[in-house]
Amino acid sequence: MKPTSPAFMMLFSVSLIAAAGNMGLQSVLPAIGRQFELADTLVAGAFAISALMWTFTSPFWARLSDRLGRKRVVLIGLGGFVASMAGFGVAATAGLEGWLAPLVAFGLMAVARTLYGVFGSAAPIASQAYVADRTTAATRTQAMSLLASAQGLGTVIGPVLSPLFVLPFVGLAGPLYAFALLGAVTLAAVWRYLPSGEATRIPTPTKGEARKGLWRDPRVRDYLLYGLLIVGSQAINISVLGFHVIDEMAATGVGVGQAQNFVAIAMFAGAVGTLMVQWGLIPLLKMEPRALIRWGAGLALLGNVVSIVSPGYYGVVIGYAVVSMGVGFARPGFTAGSSLSVGASEQGAVAGLIMSLAGISFLAPPVIGVALYQWAEWAPFVANSVMLAAALALCWISPRLRNAPVGSADREDVLSAAAPPASQPGPEGGTRTC
């Protein structure tokens, strides 16, 4: 599969829309919570159930994508995203307009978000496995990096577009309706045009150590631990950011509603940092997993230190941008590293585990981070610094991470010996080159 192929571009769009919608939601959620006069920790904690469902369902979607096919599971995930965003928007509108009591409306918002927790991991898991099925070891790192960069682009589009959709007749719920509509359009395009054939692969085992033991498998265990530290610290940064910006601007006399544009600018700075890494530095330097995970942990650590020593709005923006650059290196590093460490029959299972990290990271860390922030402005960044220092140390302590696999041309062991060329039947029944 080539990055310029129609199939790859559609999968890229799937990740793009999901990331844009989620970051758009994240950009308006603190303001909605403040207008509902809810505690910040309640706003963060109410969505832990969504993260819990994401964690539990990720392995299920990975196995189902082996049986039903990658495309069908992508469609299921996109459908869940559209329903969740639309439902969240309706509930938010009901609360903001006074049709429902704030606590009732917020409860319905949490239900809608839980729906995303159940179905949201399906699309990225199936997309990652789809790409893994159709790339060789020599091209896997670059393909995964480019696919991951869709999330970076989405984090640009989401916060930047969100203020444009905060309109008088829909208010802060406007961005949610807009991204639900974009998701529906993407769903229709994937259903119609994404090649539906599957590359020949050995299905991921549903029983036994090959699946259940991957968390403990020495081939991927340290990558997963590293990823948990990285993604957990990122979850804290994201959850605290909106409240942090609102409070910093309040100190200058700017109200909650007017602070929305400043939240968008901070998120935009972080997204630009991620894109600069994933679209510029990684392809230019042809970086492999070992370098990616080291630079990722180091820069994310530096960004949190900046947030500690440089209070004020500009310190928030710069610190978040540097953190985002670090995560831009780290995510494709541990994703590609774990994928290259296992065989073809385990790609779906590994994709599921990688996606489950996102769910685990949004269980306790955001609530703890926001609680620490309410206690002291610097506290969540100190906690992040400790986690990231541990991740950085792991890069040298762990033999697996210290000698991370390289996607060289002679590593074709991840492909089945019987695998055909990557040309699959299209939805119309013909053949389309991926």
List, for residues 203-237, the tens digit of each pLDDT value: 444 444 444 566 677 888 899 999 999 999 999 99
**In the predicted model, what is the mean pLDDT of residues 399-416?**
59
How much of the chain, in percent, has pLDDT values that exceed 70? 85
State both tokens at 317.
């923006």
Give the per-residue pLDDT at 148.
Answer: 72
- Please report the pLDDT score of residue 141 as a whole number: 67
User: Could you tell me the pLDDT band of residue 378, with boundaries at 50, 70 and 90?
Assistant: very high
For tokens 């040298």, the residue is 396
Answer yes or no: is pLDDT of 201 > 80.
no
Bridge partner list, 167: 171
Residue 228 is encoded by which pair of tokens? 């948990």
* Segments in 69-196 forming alpha helices (H): 70-96, 102-119, 122-133, 137-161, 174-193
- The mean pLDDT of 369-375, rounded to a whole number, is 93
Mean pLDDT of 59-63: 83
pLDDT for res 149? 74
pLDDT above 60 for 416: no
Q: What is the pTM of this model?
A: 0.72
- Is the CB of residue 199 less than 8 Å from the CB of residue 66? no
Tell me which range, 56-65, 106-115, 122-131, 422-431, is most confidently predicted by mean pLDDT: 106-115
**pLDDT of amino acid 296:** 96
Does residue 159 surpass a pLDDT of 90? no
Sign (positive or negative) of CA dihedral 174, 175, 176, 180 = positive
Q: For residue 388, give the nearest of 323, 318, 311, 314 by alpha carbon.
A: 323
SS3 432: strand
pLDDT at 152: 67
Token code pair at residue 376: 């002291």
Question: With bands split at pLDDT 50, 70 and 90, how would you rate the model's confidence at 1?
Answer: low
User: Over the stretch 381-390, which tens digit does the pLDDT of each residue have?
Assistant: 999 999 999 9
Of 356 and 24, the structure prediction assigns the larger pLDDT to 24
